[in-house]
């Protein structure tokens, strides 16, 4: 595996995106894909699926699920933990993205989580960062580790559009393929964020008496559609 002290900040808006190419070697990437395909038990459903180590991510509150016990990191995951923090992450999420899948624009909850890293492998895909009318796409290339801090972490949403192809700057149409990722989250000590962003920060919203939406409107619509189909 590559040395883990070669992060560089991308010279773009949003600020605070740090990047390391080739965090793992091509051979290591193939071993990881083999582990993901052959050694892990994934949920039996279509679309994007996930597994969790450490504490489990709660998709209703966007924090930690208090009802699921801590799950130790497997041996193969240990060398993939970024060494740039002063302690291991408390939550690690493995995800599989079939071609064409995506994730809605969002921010990881400010209160529960502090640092945020993501390692990509398999096919590349564009992640879109959004703030107001601004849109910036970052190419999540295979084997690269991304760290989101500052503005990129707190004040811009990030997501992946659902589409079968991505269009590169030179106009080349790049079909999407199978993609996997490992997302690392560190629990914020004290559970209080002081950024004050009333639109995106759960701490600021709570302090101002605003109840945070637990699910995206799209997820609610999909659930209602499924419920109607079974009644």
Query: Is residue 1 very low, low, confident or very high in pLDDT (cuts 50, 70, 90)?
Result: very low
Residue 143 lies in a domain: yes
Number of structural domains the chain divides into? 1
pLDDT digits (tens, 9 = 90+) for 68-113: 999 999 999 999 999 999 999 999 999 999 999 999 999 999 999 9
Q: Rounded CA gap, 184 and 179, in Å?
A: 17
Mean pLDDT score, 138-164:
98
pLDDT digits (tens, 9 = 90+) for 165-215: 999 999 999 999 999 999 999 999 899 999 999 999 999 999 999 875 543
Res 219 pLDDT > 50: no
Res 38 pLDDT > 60: yes
Query: Is residue 5 very low, low, confident or very high in pLDDT (cuts 50, 70, 90)?
Result: low
% of the chain with per-residue pLDDT over 90: 82
Could you tell me the pTM of the whole model? 0.87
Residue 211 lies in a domain: no
- The DSSP 8-state label assigned to residue 226 in this structure reads H
Residue 3 lies in a domain: no
Q: How far from 187 is each of 94, 115, 190, 202, 219, CA to CA, in Å?
A: 17, 8, 9, 14, 26
Q: Give the largest Cα separation in the chain, rounded.
A: 55
- The reported pLDDT for the residue numbered 57 is 84
Residue 81 lies in a domain: yes
Residue 207 lies in a domain: no
Residue 210 lies in a domain: no
Domain that holds residue 58: 8-196
Check which CATH number belongs to the domain holding 176 and give it.
2.60.120.590
Residue 124 lies in a domain: yes
Residue 213 lies in a domain: no
% of the chain with per-residue pLDDT over 70: 89
């Amino acid at each position: 595996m590559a040395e883990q002290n070669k992060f560089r900040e991308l010279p773009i808006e949003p600020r605070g995106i740090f990047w390391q190419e080739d965090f793992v070697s091509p051979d290591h990437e193939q071993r990881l894909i083999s582990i993901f395909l052959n050694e892990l038990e994934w949920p039996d459903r279509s679309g994007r699926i996930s597994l969790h180590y450490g504490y489990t991510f709660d998709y209703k509150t966007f924090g930690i699920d208090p009802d699921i016990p801590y799950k130790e990191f497997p041996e193969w995951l240990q060398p993939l933990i970024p060494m740039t923090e002063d302690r291991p992450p408390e939550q690690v999420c493995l995800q599989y993205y079939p071609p064409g899948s995506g994730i809605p624009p969002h921010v990881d909850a400010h209160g529960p989580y502090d640092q945020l890293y993501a390692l990509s492998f398999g096919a590349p895909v564009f992640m879109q960062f959004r703030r107001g009318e601004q849109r910036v796409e970052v190419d999540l290339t295979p084997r690269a580790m991304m760290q989101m801090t500052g503005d990129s972490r707190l004040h811009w949403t990030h997501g992946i559009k659902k589409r079968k192809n991505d269009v590169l700057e030179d106009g080349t149409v790049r079909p999407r393929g199978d993609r996997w990722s490992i997302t690392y989250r560190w629990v914020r000590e004290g559970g209080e964020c002081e950024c004050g962003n009333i639109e995106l920060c759960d701490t600021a919203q709570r302090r101002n008496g605003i109840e945070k939406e637990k699910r995206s409107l799209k997820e609610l619509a999909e659930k209602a559609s499924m419920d109607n189909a079974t009644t």
